[in-house]
Structure 1
Amino acid sequence: QPSGSISPRGARRSGAAMEAALKRYFGYTGFRPYQREIVDTIMQGRDCLVVMATGSGKSMCYQIPPLVAKKTAVVVSPLLSLMQDQVMSLKQHGVRSEYLGSTQMNSSVSSEAEKGMYDVLYMTPEKAIALPSRFWSNLQASGICLFAIDEAHCISEWGHDFRPEYKQLHLLREHLLGVPFVALTATATERVRGDIANSLNLSNPHVAIGSFDRPNLFYGVKSCNRSMSFISELVQDVSKNCTVGGSTIIYCTTIRDTEQVHEAMIAAGIKANIYHGKMGSKAREESHRSFVRDEVLVMVATIAFGMGIDKPDVRCVIHYGCPKSLESYYQESGRCGRDGLPSVCWLYYQRSDFAKADFYCSEATNATQKNAIMDSFMAAQKYCLLATCRRKSLLQYFGEERYTDCGNCDNCTGTKNERDLSKESFLLLSCVKSCGGRWGLNMPVDVLRGSRVKKIVEKNYDKLPMHAMGKDYPPNWWKALGSLLMAHGYLKETVSDGFRLVSVSPKGVKFLSDGGTPLVLQLTAEMIGQEEQGSLQNKEGGLNPSTTAESEKISEEELKLYQMLLNVRMKLAQDIGTAPYAICGDQTLRHFAKIRPSTGARLANIDGVNQHFISRYSGTFVQNIAQFSKQLNLSLDDSSGVEDMMSVPKPVNNSLPRNLGDAKFTSWELWQKQEYSFKKIAHFRRAVPIKEQTVISYILDAARDGCEMNWNRFFEETGLTPEIASQIRLAIAKVGSRERLKPIKEELPENITYEMIKIFFAADDLGVLEKTFGNAPTDGSPAQTAESAKPCSHGSEALEKGDPGDPVIISGACDSSAATKRSQTDGTLLSADEPVKKLQKIEEQGTEPTTANVATEDAILELAASRNGVSLEDAVKHFSGSKRESVVEMLESLRCSFAVYMKNGCYLVL
């Protein structure tokens, strides 16, 4: 058995253990898409390659296994500042974590790490390679569950952040026999993915490729000039953004621009820091620390800041200049809105940025690498000049197909400016053709503008009939039109010896030969701005589009409460010397403001609240919520509207990867939106129908990639019931693996088909079984009694809102006595700072069948465990020998100490 994997017996219980760890340490009751299957695969000892968007929860994939397996996870990360942020955050979640690197001042960390004293251990690739074999042998003996390589695109020479040291990490495999290697990145094309797998010698890796889409981000691009007047406009916009809340990062392409923008921010009274490669390491570290701790709200930096920030509440990322590649732009803009809240990404460029190709190509060591850099830079340039949906273009670059415009970028939300450009296009195409296709856009544009520079005269281009016929438009307007014609396929651009050459494509030749054919195109923002001869910033100004503000479904009073709670969090963070987001995220604080929990138990039931938070901070927050709510005339314990609060609208056909082609998308759309049957879809517009099983597999593929699903209907039509799901889970537990279907099928009755097993796998990976089947036994537990099988919602409602007919006095915040209270039968105490251990079953002491059951905390835990969850009403009915108030108080205490948590209206044992 691989040393990194859990035992077969452990594998059977890993699902429940994973969810328990997720709630206890991170405060969440369910995994995001792909997380469960990745964690499960890692714990089976198999290598993984994970490509998921920034903010989609990649880090959870390597943070959960060590908490379940009780072995160390080693994580290689490229930047010390990034590791320090992650360690700080994990410690605030109660996870034992440290890092090894040049700035580590504690000399005992290395020896403790060697003994397996940490759950998660970070190190740089240089440190990992330099550590002696003795270190790895000792750590292997202590227990290591995985070796993760974060930002794995740094391995590939085709990646945008190539680090040679990453290429040597495969050498550690000989010291870590049987330990699964896990490569993770947010930006990897197919070519880069292959390079990563080969470089790390990944053995039959499980490849998980999620969507690259970040639906909460608004993308916008504006052309600009680098005058002081423009910088003043930028400063005004950033100043307005700071009043809204959240942090801002401004990426500049040069140190000079960085210093100039930073000076303008300081002069305007904005608290801003600066970060670039020529600063000393201590100065960079101090600048970084004050930014993550919210001591300043704006960071002006070169790309040296790049991946070195793990701050979830960055609300705005600005690129001041065209980035060197679309990959780096995606990576850097991805620092924005990592907590899922609406955020904005603006890119300001000017035409002179596009002349930096030679500078970037100078980094190349061979012609192949030079062409790769040029291709990446050209992709970034085309993104700047788009007139169509930016998100669609960005996703397509990473091989992900999208069928509709996003409605959340400047091109989708702005006014459509369409015009017949046939005359201007005919002029430009003719001029490009007459110049022989041996130049970039500058030469034909200069000819159209009537220039008589030496080269034009020498080539007799001043004698061309279209010479000086384009004086009505400025040069940049013509260049923008050229880019637009490239995007529509009338011009094509090729690279030869590092030079970009523009020529007329076959489509353009046809247009010229047709003569006079209308060509209606949407003008780009740059073309409109050039025509207006004014500032090219949108007249409405500002960095936050109205679509972002409108998505905040929170009242004015609740927003005031949220601002007050931000101040409470800031004070706590300053007192203990950590970053505010490490205590809890903005999303969690917004939930506090919306729900306004009156007790620690109700606080504990909110997503994002973990055991460590409850034990250290719940009293402070409950007290302040009560006090502030009274000032604002807000009632406590209001759970209405929580589901849609601050939610980001998710298009039903959003983010469909390349492998989800027309057939799969159409099948899903017909089933979900038109409510066609599987049989009707199989025959839809087909001379020869496909199999219904194929239709089902198409729909499941769509579900895996984020499309919404009516799961109740799907399970009903496919025949997957709670009982069948329970039988399948038991069979998997008996076999000990999901790798092969046949052994699982052999453990099941004939009526359970292979198709049902596949459906179970998909639904289980997406975490929808419990949500759909409620308290039904889908985890392999014995069938429930009629009493316990009842829906739990009424019990939950009684506890959360109170029952007017049976008043219950519930204590305030969780205090130390409530958090450590246990039954009188054994007198033991459980510290709230320690993980809650599973309690042993209490022997029944000869009670008569007619004797009413008396509630103790241990007895409640046993009841909840035996039934795979219990509602308040079922618990009260079962313990008829105790008063309702006593049962409620004990459940409250158990939730405070994280012995149980609530999900789908039921109390589940951690």
Structure 2
Amino acid sequence: MSRCLAILNETFGYPAFRGPQAEIVEHVAAGGDCLVLMPTGGGKSLCYQIPSLVRAEAGFGAGIIVSPLIALMQDQVAAMTELGVRAACLNSTLDAKQTFATERAFENGEIDMLYVAPERLMTARFQELLGRSRVGLFAIDEAHCVSQWGHDFRPEYIQLSVLHERFPNVPRIALTATADELTRGEIIQRLALDDARVFISSFDRPNIRYRIVEKDNARTQLYDFIRGEHVRGKECDAGVIYCLSRRKVEETADWLVEKGLRALPYHGGMDAATRQRHQEIFKREEGVVMVATIAFGMGIDKPDVRFVAHLDLPKSVEGYYQETGRAGRDGMPANAWMAYGLADVVQQRRMIDESPADDAHKRISTGKLDALLGLCEAATCRRVQLLAYFGERSTPCGNCDNCLEPPATWDGTREAQMALSCVYRAAQAGGIRYGAGHLIDILRGISTERVVERGHQQLSTFGIGSAMSEPEWRAVFRQLVAYGLLAVDHEGHGSLILTEGSRAVLKGQTQVTLRRYVKRQRQRSAEGRTAAAADRSAAMNPRERACWERLRAWRGATAKTDGVPAYVIFHDATLAEIASRAPDSISALKEIPGIGARKLERFGDELVALVGADG
């Protein structure tokens, strides 16, 4: 353990392990297997990087890190190389000569950490290479990919159980940031980790502020959110915006560019070269907003993403947690913002119903969606409900929308009965089912062409809900679907049908409590910026702010020279600490977290000079 701590200090520049890191590192370095559940930004990488170095020093061999994405491999290899660690990767970006050189270096014990994709790991060629080389440990990152019930299932991960069979004496560490109890069980079973220790850290990301708003012109809401909380002068924070379809990604990116933001699209339908170029721009440059499908994000190590926004509803709490977790990896304040409405609920339910999956998968998918809808419609602390999903108990956080502005609730039983009765009577009138838009027109007594054509102005429910606006009724219908009192008829293109649970409401046997719809005021200025998303330099005095800007400019130039993302040189948190403490010597600089021996030797004099430029 003393050697593990020494590497943490000397190589990585941190004075002490956090949370369960010390116990995990010691267990794996000593040859034990384990499953680690730790939130994004919680320090998962150190849990296999340090044991890899310790076991390589001891002569056991290199750590093999199984990673699903090339981007993650490249980022981590670049970061390790900057720290003076002998790290490499094997992937499709290497030509035959580079591949051979890397394989030979690994076989000769000249590499301490080798990153490889699961597909390559399972090839006969690589298995033969492992057989004639020394292997210190296997680290299986993003282990939730092994689960068919997970949000990111990858069939090739299932084959990784062979590692235990072929190399029974080599320790294995599986790591993930998101796994409910069902997914954890499948990871253990599929990777043959039955005798492994399980380490579960808190899933809490206290630096992230969760906010979920009702859709009311979602793009404008999104722009107001970004403009109000993440733009300072001409500079915008780095952010990721998730959309469900490729078309929506393209249209949203173009719209944001028209609004003056630097936005780029990313989705699986783009050609590989453009997709790769956009990803590199996002990683290496400041102020870029990526608009993407869920094809983007896993393995992106960029720590200074200040916001993640969803314009469409994810499929599960795991997916939501994983995607929002890409914000604020550096521990500094960040925002998770989502706009959702009735159409999202209808669309997700229809996708489940129309999928080719068997009934068991559909039941699991429906349960996961219901849990997410419960989070969206919660009137109490978002974080408490989010953590409860992963089996963790907590208290109200004071840093989510419901804590900061508690929503009003009301007894909506009568209005629910109106809505349910309207669904029933409209269907009975002509044997056709209808969507929320038409039903709301009936309730509000609006004689549209379709209402008149169907004769629905004669229904007893026509006009009985005229006291409520269209957005208010949409909120009612959305919540009735979310609570399972209405279902989506997948054969009726989003039309609504009664469920078994609606019977008790119609009979007055069940009370329905609803969140009250509140029309949000637009925020166009930074005056409304929340504390969580505040300008990171706002608390700095003029000297600190000037130093911070010099350090960032220097970091950008250095990263460009080295051909790596800026955060590989130093994280924002490290630069902020330097600006705050103003170290005037190498020994004082050594006390800043995140500056290891290699970086101190290489950059120390420059950093001290930059700090001293104040004088």
Deviations 1:270-304 (A, max 9, x none): 33333211222222222212221125522222211
Higher RCO, 1 vs 2 (CA within 8 Å, ≥6 residues apart) = 2
| 1:759-770 aligned within 5 A | none
CA distance in 2, matches of 1:543, 1:339: 24
1:268-347 superposed matches below 5 A: 268-294=259-285, 297-347=288-338
1:65 is matched with 51
Matching residue's letter, 2:78: M
Q: Aligned pair 1:379/2:375, yes or no?
A: no
The answer on whether the counterparts of 2:555 and 2:566 sit within 8 Å (CA) in structure 1 is: yes
Q: Within the alignment, does 1:163 sit opposite 2:154 as a pair?
A: yes
1:103 aligns with 2:89: no
Tell me the residue number matched to 2:530: 545
Q: Could you tell me how far 1:471 is from its partner in structure 2?
A: 2.4
5 Å-filtered alignment, 1:895-910, equals none
- Relative to structure 1, the CA distance from residue 167 to residue 347 in structure 2 (aligned partners, 3 Å threshold; closer, same or farther) is same
The match for 2:82 is 92
Taking the aligned partners of 2:528 and 2:91, their CA distance within structure 1 comes to 38
C-alpha deviation, 1:38, in angstroms: 1.2
CA shift for structure 1 position 40: 1.7
- Aligned: 1:54 with 2:40: yes
Does 2:105 align with 1:117?
no
Give the number of aligned pairs: 598
For 2:261 and 2:469, the matched residues in 1 are separated by 36
**Retained in 2: the 8 A contact 1:223–1:536?**
no
The structure-2 alpha-carbon separation of the partners of 1:98 and 1:587, relative to structure 1 and needing over 3 Å to count, comes to same
Residue 512, structure 1, aligned to residue 508, structure 2: yes
1:149 matched to 2:140: yes
CA contact (8 A) 2:208 2:532 kept: no
Is the Cα–Cα contact under 8 Å of residues 76 and 122 in structure 1 kept in the other structure? Answer: yes
Look up the equivalent residue of 2:140 and give its one-letter code: I
SS class of match (2:508): helix
Confirm or deny: 8 A CA contact 2:229 2:530 kept in the other structure.
no
Aligned to 1:219, what secondary structure does the other structure show? strand
Cα drift, residue 429 of structure 1: 6.2
- On the 8 A contact 1:167/1:199 being kept in 2, the answer is yes
Distance in 2, matches of 1:75 and 1:398, equals 26
Q: If the length of structure 1 is used for normalisation, what is the TM-score?
A: 0.60
1:626 CA displacement: 0.6
Q: Percent identity?
A: 35
Cα pair distance change 1:178/1:539, threshold 3 Å: same
After alignment, is 239-248 or 154-163 more displaced? 239-248
Q: Deviations over 1:593-628 (max 9, x none)?
A: 11100011110111111011111101100011011x
- Rounded to whole Å, the distance in 1 between the matches of 2:353 and 2:423 is 26
1:248 equivalent to 2:239? Answer yes
| SS class of match (1:598) | coil
Tell me, in whole angstroms, the C-alpha distance in 2 between the residues paired with 1:125 and 1:544. Answer: 43
SS of 1:400's partner is coil
**For the structure 1 residues 562 and 354, does the alpha-carbon distance in structure 2 shift closer, same or farther, using more than 3 Å as the test?**
same
User: 1:468-547 alignment to 2 at 5 Å?
Assistant: 468-484=463-479, 492=485, 502-503=498-499, 505=501, 509=505, 512=508, 522-523=515-516, 527-529=517-519, 537=522, 544-547=529-532
Of residues 110, 131, 137, the one that matches 1:137 is 131
Give the match for residue 79 of structure 1. 69
Give how far 1:187 is off: 0.9
Name the residue aligned to 1:582: 568
Residue 462 to residue 376, structure 1, CA distance change in 2 (3 Å): farther
Q: What displacement does 1:267 show?
A: 3.2
Q: Measured at CA, do residues 313 and 117 of structure 1 come closer, stay the same or move farther in structure 2, by a change above 3 Å? A: same
The verdict on how the C-alpha distance between 1:422 and 1:349 changes in structure 2, with shifts beyond 3 A counting, is closer
Cα contact 1:28–1:608 (8 A) shared by 2: yes
Q: 1:336-735 maps to which residues of 2 (within 5 A)?
A: 336-357=327-348, 358-359=350-351, 362-402=354-394, 404-414=395-405, 416-418=407-409, 421=412, 423-425=414-416, 427-428=418-419, 442=436, 448-450=443-445, 465-484=460-479, 492=485, 502-503=498-499, 505=501, 509=505, 512=508, 522-523=515-516, 527-529=517-519, 537=522, 544-549=529-534, 553-627=539-613, 629-630=614-615
Deviation at 1:208, TM superposition (A): 0.9
Per the alignment, residue 187 of structure 1 pairs with 178
| CA displacement, residues 787-838 of structure 1 (integer Å, 9 cap, x when unaligned) | xxxxxxxxxxxxxxxxxxxxxxxxxxxxxxxxxxxxxxxxxxxxxxxxxxxx
Larger Rg computed on CA atoms: 1
Q: Are the equivalent residues in 1 in contact too, given 2:230–2:237 (CA < 8 A)?
A: no
- What CA distance in whole angstroms lies between the structure 1 residues aligned with 2:72 and 2:270? 18
Q: Which residue identity does 2:129 align to in structure 1?
A: F
Q: Compared with structure 1, are the counterparts of its residues 508 and 568 closer, same or farther at alpha carbon in structure 2 (3 Å cutoff)?
A: farther
SS at match of 1:58: coil
Residue pair 1:432, 1:503 contacting (<8 A) in 2 also? no
Query: 2:82, 2:75 → 1: CA distance?
Result: 11
Which amino acid is 1:349 matched to? Y
Q: 2:120 aligns with which of 106, 122, 127?
A: 127
Give the corresponding residue for 1:28: 14
Please say if 1:224 is aligned against 2:220: no
- Do the aligned partners of residues 270 and 580 (structure 1) sit closer, same or farther apart at CA in structure 2, a change above 3 Å counting? same
User: Could you tell me whether the CA contact under 8 Å between 1:66 and 1:72 is conserved in 2?
Assistant: yes
Q: CA deviation at 1:92?
A: 1.4
Partner of 1:639: none
Whole-Å Cα distance in 2 between the matches of residues 418 and 359 of structure 1?
A: 30
Deviation at 1:50?
1.0
How much has 1:186 moved relative to structure 2?
Answer: 0.8
Partner SS for 2:132: helix
* Distance (whole Å) between structure 2 residues aligned to residue 341 and residue 193 of structure 1: 29
- CA pair 167-387 structure 1, distance change in 2 beyond 3 A: same
Q: CA deviation at 1:127?
A: 0.8
Cα deviation digits, residues 577-605 of structure 1 (max 9, x gap): 11111111111111101110001111011
> Is the 1:240–1:542 contact (alpha carbons within 8 Å) kept by the matching residues of 2?
no
The one-letter code of the counterpart of 1:76 is V
Instruction: Say if 1:373 and 1:509 are closer, same or farther in 2 by CA, change over 3 A.
Output: closer
- Paired residue type of 1:127: R
Please tell me whether the aligned partners of residues 236 and 287 of structure 2 are also in contact (alpha carbons under 8 angstroms).
Answer: no
Kept in 2, the 8 Å contact 1:155–1:196? The answer is yes
CA-CA distance at 1:245 after TM superposition: 6.2
Q: TM-score, normalised by structure 2?
A: 0.87
- Matches of 1:432 and 1:83, distance apart in 2: 53
Unmatched segments (≥5 aa) in structure 2: none
